[in-house]
Structure 1
Amino acid sequence: MIVADFHVHSTFSVDGMSTMEQHCIMAMQKGIKKICFTEHVDYNIAEYNVGKVKDNRKQNFNINEYFNEIERLNTLYYPSIEILSGIEFSEPHLFKDEFEYYSSLPFDYILASIHHCYNGVFPGKANIEEGQAMKEYYSLMKESLEYCLCQGIAHLDFPRRYFDSWEIEENMLSDILLTIIKKDIALEVNTSSVNENCVEPLPSFSVIERYQSMGGKKIILGSDAHDCKNLGNAFEETMKRLPRGLNPGYIKGRKFMSL
């Protein structure tokens, strides 16, 4: 059993549905021993470029309240559960000043992701051909990985949620996986897609196998739960299907720890 869920959103995220404390109580009921609140840090490039966002740091959650709540809950519930801090920063290579600011804060875990492709449009709302979507998404992912200093990369083939089929351009994928391995970044196995639109995690098992074949070992499981009922979603089933020899772990103090 995996005892750490390292991709969780509370009501500090704009789309969060459960408070930190609700998540912690549910996690303890499910036997989860470690949880990381990776709250969204998102900016929309289209609005950013036309000056609609005046003070970008104020577009996201209250940082002082966030850290105070983690401290309060650790005082209440540790050692039954350990609560760690994190952010999920979207498109860090496009918002370098903001990324440097958030990186200077004492988060345990910096998780990079791509959400807004196609000039700032969310993949699920974009009227775009699948092949074009794939190329743009992976191009942004590669730029992001080459720029930022992060410990994890979220839902590597994220747009697969929105397309019936999702063919991967082999050279682009290999370049991205090689960058992840060279920079010692952990590959997130995101289970939010399991039992939803597809039966595999993000990335797919074939991508995880490719990662391992290239020398990658570090993985981190995350449910991407926005509602506490989804904590640890499909962890056991997913672990049974992962190739042997991987190193599941978590991040504390921006260092990978094996479970």
Structure 2
Amino acid sequence: MMIADYHMHTYYSDDSQYEMEEAVKKAISLGLHEICFTDHVDYGIKLEHDDYMRLSDEERKNKVANVDYEHYFEEIHHLQEKYKDQITIKQGMEFGIQTHTIPAFSTLFNAYDFDFIILSCHQVEDKEFWTQDFQKGRSQQDYNERYYQEILNVIKVYKDYSVLGHLDLLKRYDLEGEYPFEKTKDIITKILKIVIEDGKGIEINTSSFYYGLKDLMPSKNILKLYYELGGTILTIGSDSHKEEQVGAHIKEIQEELKKIGFKQICTFDKMKPIFHDL
């Protein structure tokens, strides 16, 4: 059975100090067959790496940078060759897309060769979730509906991605508790129908375990809905930012997917899904 971690962050992401080669070594030690690096790019709230590096130390305060693209791909290529007999390594990114940043992501996607892209919504209107800036001044209904509407607006236009990342991510930062699925089911259905029609997929993100969430991410309700709608493209990712998170809970998620009725999971090569039996 294929064991692959398709959501991994390293020191090329602003929120991780984990060395890329150490992540590879950890994955090998766990017996993983394949991994994909998916470091963060979030236009709108982060500076391009080269622009950031031109700033003085004082100017860099309260600012963060996107991936150093040149060195990122160079290191992945080096590690692919060095460890080719031990593990398969794919190159991807996690695009934190908002409607107004779509043109920038289109340019980035066309500039490099990718195996895999996670399309995520990390902020709306350049307001972060984890800081509560986005939620501030809104009711729970308002910020949940606005979050899913932003995802829907993006995927109606942007198609250069592989899977939607942690679809119900907002619950991770919802101080009011988890918003009822039935209240967002209609818009989530619209999102999933477009995903399926476009030949894209969704990921199951195992960070729900180390964030102490009560459900999977996305929830079992969303996964069941995706299955009922005919969705088949699924990846599993740890969303790791440090050693102990690499490969975490992947086998557990595979068992949960079987219970729902899914028969396969995917890895990717040059943006094309490859199916593996569960």
User: How far apart, in 2, do the equivalents of 1:143 and 1:57 lie?
Assistant: 30
Partner-residue secondary structure (3-state), 1:88: strand
What residue ranges of structure 2 are gaps of 5+ in the alignment?
Answer: 52-64
1:220 corresponds to which letter in structure 2?
Answer: T
1:226 pairs with one of 235, 241, 246: 241
Q: In the alignment, what sits opposite 1:161? A: 172
Q: In the alignment, what sits opposite 1:5? A: 5
2:153 pairs with one of 143, 165, 180: 143
Partner-residue secondary structure (3-state), 2:5: strand
1:106 aligns with 2:121: no
Which stretch shows the higher mean deviation, 198-207 or 55-64? 55-64
User: How many Å apart are 1:233 and its aligned residue?
Assistant: 1.5
User: How far apart, in 1, do the equivalents of 2:100 and 2:150 lie?
Assistant: 9
Write the deviation string for residues 148-196 of structure 1: whole angstroms up to 9, x where unpaired: 1211110000011123222232210110110111011111111111242
2:97–2:105 Cα contact (<8 Å) kept: no
User: How far apart, in 2, do the equivalents of 1:241 and 1:73 lie?
Assistant: 32
Partner-residue secondary structure (3-state), 1:95: helix
The percentage of counterpart residues that share the same residue type is 26
User: How many Å apart are 1:2 and its aligned residue?
Assistant: 4.5
User: How many Å apart are 1:241 and its aligned residue?
Assistant: 1.7
2:227 pairs with one of 209, 212, 216: 212
Partner-residue secondary structure (3-state), 1:251: strand
1:190–1:224 Cα contact (<8 Å) kept: yes
1:76 aligns with 2:86: no
User: How far apart, in 2, do the equivalents of 1:116 and 1:162 lie?
Assistant: 12
User: How far apart, in 1, do the equivalents of 2:226 and 2:2 lie?
Assistant: 20
User: How many Å apart are 1:142 and its aligned residue?
Assistant: 0.4
Matches within 5 A, 1:32-71: 32-44=32-44, 58=51, 59-71=65-77
Q: 1:92 to 1:257 in 2, by over 3 A?
A: farther
Partner-residue secondary structure (3-state), 2:28: helix
Partner-residue secondary structure (3-state), 1:28: helix
What residue ranges of structure 1 are gaps of 5+ in the alignment?
Answer: 48-52
User: How far apart, in 1, do the equivalents of 2:75 and 2:210 lie?
Assistant: 32
Aligned length: 251
Q: In the alignment, what sits opposite 1:244? A: 261
Length-normalised TM-score, structure 1:
0.91
Q: In the alignment, what sits opposite 2:55? A: none
Length-normalised TM-score, structure 2:
0.85
Matches within 5 A, 1:9-28: 9-28=9-28
Q: CA RMSD in A?
A: 1.8
Q: 1:56 to 1:196 in 2, by over 3 A?
A: closer
1:251 corresponds to which letter in structure 2?
Answer: F
